[in-house]
């Protein structure tokens, strides 16, 4: 479970960052232009996804490691919360990399603009993460039960 959870978190984050790089913030004239952004945008988005995935999975293993060995619905709830938190962190990272690397994007000036530049992507990413987490939570909770650490309450299946 200590390898599986960070690997899955990084894969989900990379899939979201790839989708964001391809569709979400396209500088070529619209939100539905399917072109991959070149160079520093793509690298920054992928590094942001890896960092967000490792942060969330590490926190989940640190604070809820015992609950991950519980029943299916305990694992499902933790997966929904983890994907929601990952979406919140990743959306802030992706928006920050866009502001930092895109010359056409204005830098926030005052404190209120900075708070809005952090709060709006965080709320939007959290909502999208909650939606994605309710769908991805079922297979992730099942896989954690299959590949997770075995306990006395969860014996190894017979072949």
Contact assessment for residue 50 and residue 8, using Cβ atoms and an 8 Å cutoff:
no
- Let me know if residue 152 belongs to a domain: no
Residue 18 clears pLDDT 60, i.e. is over it:
yes
On the CB side of 128, CA atoms within 13 Å amount to 16
Alpha-carbon span 123 to 149, nearest angstrom: 34
Nearest to 75 by CA among 89, 65, 84: 65
- Let me know if residue 129 belongs to a domain: yes
- Let me know if residue 50 belongs to a domain: yes
Q: What is the DSSP letter of 24?
A: I
- Let me know if residue 154 belongs to a domain: no
Phi, psi of 154 (to 5 degrees): -135, 80
pTM of the model: 0.78
* Domain count for the chain: 1
- 3-state SS assignment for residue 70: coil
- Let me know if residue 155 belongs to a domain: no
Helix (H) or strand (E) holding 159: none
* Tens digits of residue pLDDT in 55-90: 888 888 888 877 777 788 888 998 899 889 988 998
Residue 149 clears pLDDT 60, i.e. is over it:
no
- Let me know if residue 54 belongs to a domain: yes
Phi, psi of 153 (to 5 degrees): -80, -10
- Let me know if residue 156 belongs to a domain: no
- Let me know if residue 153 belongs to a domain: no
* Tens digits of residue pLDDT in 79-122: 899 889 988 998 888 888 878 877 777 788 888 888 888 898 89
CA distances to 72, 76, 80 from 148, in Å: 12, 13, 17
**Full residue range of the structural domain in which residue 97 is found:** 4-147
Contact assessment for residue 20 and residue 41, using Cβ atoms and an 8 Å cutoff:
no
Alpha-carbon span 99 to 28, nearest angstrom: 16
């Amino acid at each position: 479970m200590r390898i599986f959870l960070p690997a899955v978190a990084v894969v989900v984050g990379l899939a979201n960052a790839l989708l964001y790089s391809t569709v979400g913030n396209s500088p070529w004239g619209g939100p539905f232009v399917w072109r991959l952004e070149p160079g520093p945008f793509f690298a920054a988005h992928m590094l942001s996804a890896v960092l967000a995935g490792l942060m969330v999975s590490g926190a989940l293993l640190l604070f809820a490691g015992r609950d991950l060995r519980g029943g299916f619905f305990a694992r499902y709830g933790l997966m929904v919360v983890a994907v929601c938190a990952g979406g919140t962190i990743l959306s802030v990272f992706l928006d920050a990399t866009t502001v930092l690397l895109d010359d056409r994007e204005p830098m926030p000036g005052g404190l209120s603009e900075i708070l809005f530049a952090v709060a709006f992507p965080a709320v939007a990413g959290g909502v999208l993460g909650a939606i994605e987490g309710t769908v991805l939570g079922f297979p992730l909770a099942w896989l954690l039960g299959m590949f997770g650490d075995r306990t006395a309450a969860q014996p190894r299946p017979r072949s």
